[in-house]
């Protein structure tokens, strides 16, 4: 008797696997209509222009971390951990589980992964983004591209998507534990003059104004982590913290406050900083270079005496357990169902960009 097969497809951004891949990676990024929403052929020309202009600077960034992005290897480790966790359960309903990875802007991309899922003979597909907070520019874009590729590949297995999980208990617990362990590295009393910066990737304001729920979901995650820390009595009794946004580029107005401005404010307020990546779940250029190198230097320039960076959740047991719970819950939905209730969140009707409302 053939056992049931469930493919769990992890969505992530992707990154160049060598310096020569930087330019095509950037082209794929800026050619995405979710990133630059102008019609063709203008979008193609803009993507060509921007990727050419930014190639050298981006190559210098990746040269700081071994001439490539580590995001694929890190995502593969998460996939193996999730696969082992679910297949190790004795009473799970998914049958044989295999985790696949699809990256939005560099390999493995949707077309090649959809073909692999089809060839494996999956009876069911669960789409699980490694973006805890939904945005049209991340999960929304990846979902649309996956459905296109699945149709092209003839992949007809019932498919379900967990669209977001900003308050998922395992994710929240993992972030809080990482903060707690970083604070434990401090000398006694040193934590009394610290501010925690929860830093997320920024977006242009116009994206949020069009109904994208990302910013509200980031703030929901931060509130959940802060509440968890208070309930568990971990961290300072009076927690000084701030939500902020990094990676601003281009002339558009972006959501704020910016991480750079908050670092400068910490210098003015004479407080140390503990920086927490709150929207990234694995290490890549924006944590290893932007947070660890560029912002650390900015902190020194602004007289910030203590600058600590909390690692991403990676393979934390609580996070992987939370992902497993999301996948198991998704198996109960109808084909094509999109949901986020297991993650403890559901967008209100005011967020027209939410995939449930669009």
* Per-residue pLDDT reduced to its tens digit, 303-338: 999 999 999 999 999 999 999 999 998 877 665 556
As a whole number, the mean pLDDT across the chain is: 92
- Tell me what pLDDT residue 353 has: 65
What does the block give as tokens for 127?
């789409």
What's the rounded mean pLDDT across residues 99-111? 98
Phi, psi of 232 (to 5 degrees): -90, 0
CA distance 64 to 42: 33
Confidence check: pLDDT of 106 > 60: yes
- Tell me what pLDDT residue 1 has: 34
- Tell me what pLDDT residue 317 has: 97
- Tell me what pLDDT residue 86 has: 96
The closest alpha carbon to 127, from 280, 331, 283, belongs to 331
Confidence check: pLDDT of 164 > 60: yes
Annotation-wise, does 201 bind a ligand?
yes
- Name the packing angle between helices 71-87 and 317-330 (round to 10°): 60
Find the radius of gyration of the CA atoms of the chain: 20
Contact 25, 14 (CB under 8 A): yes
Annotation-wise, does 286 bind a ligand?
yes
Measured distance between the N- and C-terminal CA atoms of the chain, rounded to whole angstroms: 41
Contact 109, 35 (CB under 8 A): no
Instruction: List Cβ neighbours of 171 (8 Å cut-off, separation of 6 or more).
Output: 132, 165, 221, 281, 313, 318, 319, 322, 343
- Tell me what pLDDT residue 90 has: 85
pTM, full prediction: 0.93
Q: Per-residue confidence at 192, pLDDT binned at 50, 70, 90?
A: confident
What H or E segment, with its residue span, contains residue 308?
strand 307-309
SS3 138: helix
The closest alpha carbon to 200, from 251, 162, 256, 252, belongs to 256
Domain boundaries, the chain: 19-63, 169-309
What's the rounded mean pLDDT across residues 29-34? 94
Domain 169-309 is in which class? alpha beta
Beta-strand relationship, 272-277 and 307-309: parallel
- Cβ atoms < 10 Å from Cβ of 53: 11
CA distance 100 to 117: 8
């Amino acid at each position: 008797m053939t056992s049931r097969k469930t493919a769990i497809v992890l969505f992530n951004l992707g990154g160049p696997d060598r310096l020569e891949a930087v330019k095509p990676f950037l082209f794929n990024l800026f050619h995405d209509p979710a990133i630059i929403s102008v019609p063709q052929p203008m979008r193609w020309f803009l993507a060509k222009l921007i990727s050419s202009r930014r190639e050298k600077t981006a190559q210098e960034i990746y040269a700081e971390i071994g001439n490539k992005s580590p995001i694929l290897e890190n995502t593969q480790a998460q996939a193996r951990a999730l696969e082992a966790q679910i297949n190790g359960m004795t009473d799970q309903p998914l049958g044989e589980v295999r985790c696949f990875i699809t990256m939005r802007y560099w390999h493995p991309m949707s077309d090649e992964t959809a073909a692999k899922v089809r060839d494996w003979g999956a009876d069911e597909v669960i789409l699980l983004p490694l973006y805890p907070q939904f945005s049209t520019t991340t999960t929304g874009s990846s979902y649309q591209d996956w459905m296109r590729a699945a149709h092209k590949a003839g992949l007809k297995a019932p498919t379900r998507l967990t669209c977001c999980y900003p308050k998922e208990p395992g994710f929240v617990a993992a972030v809080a534990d990482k903060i707690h362990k970083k604070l434990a590295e401090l000398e006694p009393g040193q934590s009394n003059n610290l501010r925690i910066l929860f830093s997320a990737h920024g977006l242009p304001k116009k994206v949020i104004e069009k109904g994208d729920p990302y910013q509200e979901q980031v703030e929901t995650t931060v509130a959940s982590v802060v509440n968890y820390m208070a309930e568990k009595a971990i961290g300072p009794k009076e927690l000084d913290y701030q939500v902020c946004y990094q990676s601003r580029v281009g002339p558009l107005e972006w959501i704020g406050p910016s991480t750079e401005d908050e670092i400068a404010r910490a210098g003015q307020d004479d407080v140390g900083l503990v920086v927490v990546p709150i929207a990234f779940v694995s290490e890549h250029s924006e944590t290893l270079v932007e947070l660890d190198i560029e912002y650390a230097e900015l902190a020194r320039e602004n007289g910030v005496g203590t600058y600590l960076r909390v690692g991403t959740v990676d393979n934390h047991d609580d996070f992987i357990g939370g992902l497993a719970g999301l996948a198991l819950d998704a198996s109960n939905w109808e084909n094509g169902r999109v949901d986020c209730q297991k993650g403890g969140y559901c967008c209100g009707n005011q967020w027209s960009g939410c995939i449930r409302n669009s």
